[in-house]
């Protein structure tokens, strides 16, 4: 009788597989939100944020370069770019597509191919009090299920926050000085 009770409470091993897939898929999403105040015209800020050349310049520490799709200039709606960079000592490639764009207030880039399960990066621009407020909302799902969630907590979210913050500071500096002319032809 005791053996029957124990067996009745045992779960099917496939339940655990489904449970961990659920955990890995839904709970490995992380969101980074950054707001940068820029004293420059909104159109300049918007164009600098989608400039392939400025992105390469701002990510020199990871040797990031555009190797396919749009490789220089301004990326447009429905265009893709493939980036190659070194992160954590490993050469990686990531392809993104601009899936939404409303000049000069909003655009979204999404991962098409890469190491992450997904990346959804919103870029919002708003004029307030004579300045531009550039908001980045960077949502990503790490690979490797629950191990990805642990990586998020231990180091990945902090790493990506610093990475985006550095890029935003360079956009701000270029937009507020004459450096923007190196990246925008108009």
SS3 sequence of 38-91: ECCCHHHHHHHHCEHHHHHHHCHHHCCEEEEECCCCECCCCCEEEEEEEECCEE
Q: What is the mean pLDDT of residues 18-42?
A: 76
pLDDT value for 20 = 47
Residue ranges per structural domain of the chain: 2-183
pLDDT at position 1 over 80: no
pTM: predicted TM-score of the whole model, two decimal places: 0.83
pLDDT score, position 145: 80
Contact 164, 40 (CB under 8 A): no
If you ran DSSP here, which 8-state letter would residue 156 be given?
A: I
R_g (Cα) of the chain, nearest Å: 21
Q: Does residue 144 have a pLDDT over 60?
A: yes
What's the rounded mean pLDDT across residues 10-26?
47
pLDDT tens profile 39-88:
999 999 999 999 999 999 999 999 999 999 999 999 999 999 999 999 88
Residues in the chain, how many? 186
Check residue 24 and give its pLDDT: 47
Alpha-carbon distance 22 to 142, whole Å?
14
May I ask the CATH class of domain 2-183? alpha beta
User: What average pLDDT does range 156-160 have in this prediction?
Assistant: 92
pLDDT at 18: 46
Question: Which two tokens mark 160?
Answer: 């990506």
Structure tokens at 51: 């400039």
Percent of the chain, pLDDT > 90?
A: 72
In percent, the amount of the chain with pLDDT more than 70 equals 84
């Amino acid at each position: 009788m005791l053996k029957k009770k124990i067996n009745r409470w045992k779960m099917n091993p496939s339940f655990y597989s489904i449970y961990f897939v659920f955990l890995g898929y839904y709970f490995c999403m992380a969101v980074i939100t950054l707001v940068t105040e820029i004293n420059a015209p909104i159109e300049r800020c918007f164009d600098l944020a989608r400039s392939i050349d400025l992105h390469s310049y701002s990510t020199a520490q990871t040797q990031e370069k555009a190797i396919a799709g749009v490789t220089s200039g301004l990326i447009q709606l429905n265009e893709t770019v493939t980036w190659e960079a070194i992160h954590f000592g490993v050469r990686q490639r990531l392809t993104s597509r601009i899936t939404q764009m409303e000049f000069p207030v909003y655009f979204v880039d999404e991962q098409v191919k890469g190491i992450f399960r997904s990346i959804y990066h919103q870029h919002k621009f708003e004029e307030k009090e004579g300045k531009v407020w550039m908001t980045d909302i960077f949502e990503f799902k790490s690979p490797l299920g629950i191990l990805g969630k642990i990586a998020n907590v231990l180091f990945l979210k902090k790493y990506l926050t610093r990475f985006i913050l550095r890029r935003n500071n360079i956009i701000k500096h270029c937009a507020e000085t004459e450096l923007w002319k190196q990246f925008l032809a108009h």
